Amino acid sequence: MKPVNFDYERPRTIDEACELLASNSNARILAGGQSLIPMLSMRLSRPSLLIDIAHIKDLSEIVATDTHIEIGAMVRQAVAKNAIMIREYIPLLSKALHHVGHPPTRARGTVGGSIAHADPSAEIALVAVTLGAEITYRVGCDDHMFDATEFFIGPMLTVAPPDGCLVKVGFPKTSKICGTGFYEVAPRRSDYALASAAAQINFDSKGAAKTIRVGVGSIGDFPERLDVDHLLKTDLNDESIVATVETAITEIETVDDLHASAEYRKRVAAHLAVKALQTARDEVREAPAK
């Protein structure tokens, strides 16, 4: 379990990192390393140059804009999990981060790294797709923005430019009144999930549902959103939630592997999506308006 040898650079600015990326077609960005280093150790990945972005100061910031919370590429999962701004404005991500790996991997792993790695069972990617996060890559001197719902195209496959460096991920802020739910089923704590689901309901000031987002992960090649817009016409009762989710999930392609059948994953994901929606609804029905 020793990686193939490689060169190592430690740029101080994003521009410098992009120059290095452009100079070597077999270069990889190293952020927290919690996915990349195992792949190096197993020699599944054999880059000739690693570009360590941990020393680029701008990348460790969490910034609030009018509409989004932008998480820099080097923000570690443990930092994001404890960040008040994220708890307040992206509560769904806060909930999901509890399920990401375990304390030692969260202490090193980054939010952006998980998205760039694009593991089909990654919780952070599921939240990004569910909420429609904006993923920004720097290529040369230009920023390219990708909608998370179109970013993931296969297991560990994204539409990211090969010579680009992820700089930030912007998650839309919730409305003032909002409920969230996140659930997953895994063989044991901190293991890869067999099925996962995330839900967020934004309400208007009168308590009517304004937007409803539900996503499922770990059951196909990448996380996907369920089309549940029909629920906006209902009062979010249990029967409508179950019926809408069960219809929507038939559209999702699921995969078999030695851990679980496609049929089982789909059934569990539907159940979790219902539970996530119910939790999101009940959070608001119980809590008074802010």
Give the residue from 220, 227, 222 showing the smallest Cα distance to 246. Answer: 227
The Cβ of residue 271 has, within 10 Å, a number of other Cβ atoms equal to 18
Beta bridge partners of 27: 49
Q: Decide: is 290 part of the binding site for another protein (CB under 8 A).
A: no
Q: Decide: is 10 part of the binding site for another protein (CB under 8 A).
A: yes
CB of 12 to another protein, least distance (A): 14
The 8-class DSSP code of residue 218 comes to S
Tokens of 70: 């932008």
Taking CB under 8 A as the criterion, the residue among 37, 139, 156, 255 binding another protein is: 37
Q: Decide: is 1 part of the binding site for another protein (CB under 8 A).
A: yes
Q: Could you give the CA distance from residue 131 to residue 92 in angstroms, rounded to a whole number? A: 9
CB 200 within 8 A of CB 178: yes
Residue numbers 151-210 binding another protein by CB under 8 A: 188-190
Q: Decide: is 54 part of the binding site for another protein (CB under 8 A).
A: yes
Q: Decide: is 79 part of the binding site for another protein (CB under 8 A).
A: no
Residue numbers 107-126 binding another protein by CB under 8 A: 107-108
CB of 32 to another protein, least distance (A): 9
- Window contacting another protein (CB under 8 A); options: 33-41, 116-124, 147-155, 246-254: 33-41
Taking CB under 8 A as the criterion, the residue among 6, 242, 246, 283 binding another protein is: 6
Give the residue from 25, 13, 18, 14 showing the smallest Cα distance to 139. Answer: 18
Q: Could you give the CA distance from residue 200 to residue 212 in angstroms, rounded to a whole number? A: 6
Print burial letters for 210-227: b (CB count within 10 Å at least 16), e (below 16).
ebbbbbbbbbbbbbbbbe
- Window contacting another protein (CB under 8 A); options: 99-107, 140-148, 207-215, 231-239: 99-107
Q: Decide: is 64 part of the binding site for another protein (CB under 8 A).
A: no
Sites of contact with another protein (CB under 8 A):
1-8, 10, 30, 33-34, 37-38, 40-42, 50, 52, 54, 78, 101-105, 107-108, 188-190
